A and B are shown apart, each in its own frame.
Chain A
Amino acid sequence: MSDDLQQLYQQIILDHAKERHGAGLQEHDGVGTCGESHQLNPVCGDEITLRAVLSDGTLTSVSWDGAGCAISMSSASVMTDLMLGLARDDAMDLVDEFRTVMRSRGKIVADEEVLGDAAALAGVSRYPARVKCAMLAWVALEEALLAANR
């Protein structure tokens, strides 16, 4: 199989797509404020409902329910790992960072120090039709954080 495809579907992505860290919506226990967002990709029907809890400005819980392709599900999984425990503003910055990489058409090399396992998704940016798959969970988190802040 071609290297390109291996590059897109790295083992770490396939593993996350199966393990799905954060999958299963958590009931809000009342501590802090909870925001929720539902995102749908009408092209393929991929969807995600994501809940984020902010406590003293820190992201204390990220959980989600979703159905979709390996890219969208692994992206939700790596994002959950990355975001837990971050300050709200840092989390928002990270969403922007990831979006910039995704929109770069392969021109920006993802910084593993910053993006962790999500750097493995950088290959998606060369496939414009799939960028929305990778962004689905991140957009959901962004909206959930805005909702939690209100």
Chain B
Amino acid sequence: MSIPSAPHHPLTDTEVRRIRNDFPILDTQVNSRPLIYLDSGATSQNPLTVMEAEQEFYEQRNSAVHRGAHTLAVDATDAYEAARETISAFVGAAVDEIVWTSNATEALNLVAYSFSNASVGRGGAAAHRLAIGPGDEIVVTEMEHHANLIPWQELAARTGATLRYIPVDDDGALRLDEAAAIINQATAIVAFTHASNVLGTINPVAELVAMAREHGALTVLDACQSVPHLPVDVHDLGIDFMAFSGHKMLGPTGIGALYGRAELLNAMPPFLTGGSMITTVTMEGAGYLPAPARFEAGTQRISQAIALAAAANYLTETGMERIQEWEETLGRQLVEGLSQIPGIRVLGPAARVDRIGLAAFDVDGVHAHDVGQYLDHQGIAVRVGHHCAQPLHRRLGLTATTRASTYLYNTSDEVAAFLAAVAGVRPFFGVK
């Protein structure tokens, strides 16, 4: 496998315009205006290489993987496993530490349900240390996406464990001072987001991991908003599990991945069971393959995995450091521009903090849905609502906000056009 390498100079508007040629959808007109796509935090667009990889698979190799000895089946299996190598290299994991899932939500549920199964005695002696129950605590944060909250609520409800959370302050900053008391001897799991999908802030992973480790707790990182936007190395971060989605990183929908430390994955009982994850099956029971196969029951998302690898290669060739830098520039332009518009409140701490290139904001006197409608009429696609983070919105005294999220294909001109449009919102709705 050849590892693509990226240029070293920073991305510029000129180069981004070239990048845009790889994304046919960005040429679309919406409401007779050129599309300005600022919703990559929800789902990103696909470059031609990703679509071609999927098409090429269906045209030339389509076959089931890990079964059958015919040529196509071997080709498909090779491509599928090569995709796993690409993705594991992309996040610094060993190849058997990457489990394919439908999306990050399924990856997080996989961990929660596997622990749940361990808690009722499944998985034998190896899984015993993963069992949790009354007296154990699961810690999340108040800024979590529902996908990294509800699976833990349910795990706590099934096992009798207690769910606790690290609060945020009035600005949405994580209360690290309180975290030190909340993470304690009783803590079994600490699950938190790497970068907030609402605030755009990057959480102090190292500090939270250190607190968890001090008490022997396992860490689960929601990396949906970090893996697509900045270099991520699971071993550098020192986390035990990490979930991310393909469709937020230029890949197709229907594919995501779970990283788990090999030793943990191999101690965990399976979540979904069935074909392709077993050793010997009798009418009474079954033995299970080591990870990752143990967690990949049934026919897998083969073309999606292959297309996701093409997406990862595209990102690597562009350069994750350069992408991060570019989005920081766009993010600053967004936050500074929005902050200067009367009646706009940008969510998240005002102080200089590390953030990704997105901003969620409230428009005084105009509901987010109306803001989104107004922007859509100008061809600008943004996300409106609670962004699957109701508790965070409630904490900040809001029910719905508007979010603009950038990616490597957005230009500073687009951000400027967006800011000009937002400045027109309150006048249009007659709010003074």
Contact with B along A40-55 (1 / 0, CB 8 A): 0001111000000000
Find the A residue at minimum CB distance from B369: A69
C-alpha spacing A5/B428, complex, angstroms:
10
Would you call A5 and B367 a contact (CB within 8 A)? Answer: no
**With A14-B429, A133-B369 as given contacts, are A5 and B377 in contact (CB-CB < 8 Å)?**
yes
Residues B356-375 near A (CB distance < 8 A): 366-370, 373-374
Residue A45 contacts which of B366, B399, B424, B428 (CB distance < 8 angstroms)?
Answer: B399
Most buried by B among A4, A67, A68: A68
How near does chain A come to B331, taking the closest CB pair, in angstroms? Answer: 25
Would you call A2 and B31 a contact (CB within 8 A)? Answer: yes
Would you call B373 and A8 a contact (CB within 8 A)? Answer: yes
Would you call A44 and B368 a contact (CB within 8 A)? Answer: yes
Residues B383-410 near A (CB distance < 8 A): 384-386, 390, 393, 399-400
How near does chain B come to A75, taking the closest CB pair, in angstroms? Answer: 13
Taking CB atoms, residues of chain A closer than 8 Å to B7 are: none
A107 at the interface (CB under 8 A from B): no
C-alpha spacing A67/B367, complex, angstroms:
9
Describe A's contact surface by its main secondary structure. Answer: mixed
B430 at the interface (CB under 8 A from A): yes
Would you call A45 and B400 a contact (CB within 8 A)? Answer: yes
Would you call A4 and B429 a contact (CB within 8 A)? Answer: no
Contact with B along A68-103 (1 / 0, CB 8 A): 111100000000000000000000000000000000
Taking CB atoms, residues of chain B closer than 8 Å to A8 are: 373
Would you call A9 and B384 a contact (CB within 8 A)? Answer: no
Q: For chain A, give the interface size range.
A: 20 to 34
Taking CB atoms, residues of chain A closer than 8 Å to B373 are: 5, 8-9, 127, 130
Would you call B429 and A45 a contact (CB within 8 A)? Answer: no
Taking CB atoms, residues of chain A closer than 8 Å to B386 are: 44-45
Residues B162-198 near A (CB distance < 8 A): none
C-alpha spacing A44/B369, complex, angstroms:
7
Residue A14 contacts which of B31, B374, B385, B430 (CB distance < 8 angstroms)?
Answer: B430
A31 at the interface (CB under 8 A from B): no
Find the B residue at minimum CB distance from A47: B399
**With A2-B377, A5-B374 as given contacts, are A44 and B429 in contact (CB-CB < 8 Å)?**
no
C-alpha spacing A44/B400, complex, angstroms:
6
Find the A residue at minimum CB distance from B399: A45
Find the B residue at minimum CB distance from A15: B430
A109 at the interface (CB under 8 A from B): no
Would you call A45 and B390 a contact (CB within 8 A)? Answer: yes
How near does chain A come to B423, taking the closest CB pair, in angstroms? Answer: 13
Taking CB atoms, residues of chain B closer than 8 Å to A71 are: 369-370
Find the B residue at minimum CB distance from A45: B399
Residues A110-140 near B (CB distance < 8 A): 127, 130, 133
C-alpha spacing A133/B367, complex, angstroms:
12
C-alpha spacing A8/B377, complex, angstroms:
11
Taking CB atoms, residues of chain B closer than 8 Å to A127 are: 373
Question: What residues of chain B have their CB less than 8 Å away from a CB belonging to chain A?
Answer: 31, 366-370, 373-374, 377, 384-386, 390, 393, 399-400, 424, 428-430
Question: What residues of chain A have their CB less than 8 Å away from a CB belonging to chain B?
Answer: 1-2, 4-5, 8-9, 14, 18, 43-46, 67-71, 127, 130, 133
Extra contacts, 20 of them, besides A45-B385, A70-B366 (Cβ < 8 A), are: A2-B31, A4-B31, A5-B373, A5-B377, A5-B428, A9-B370, A9-B373, A14-B430, A18-B430, A44-B368, A44-B385, A44-B386, A44-B400, A45-B393, A46-B367, A46-B399, A46-B400, A67-B399, A70-B370, A133-B369
For the complex of A and B, 8 pairs with smallest distance between CB atoms: A69-B367, A69-B369, A45-B399, A5-B377, A44-B385, A70-B370, A69-B370, A44-B400
- In the assembled complex, 10 residue pairs joining A and B whose CB atoms fall closer than 8 Å, in A order, are A4-B31, A4-B377, A9-B373, A14-B429, A45-B399, A46-B399, A46-B400, A69-B368, A71-B370, A130-B373
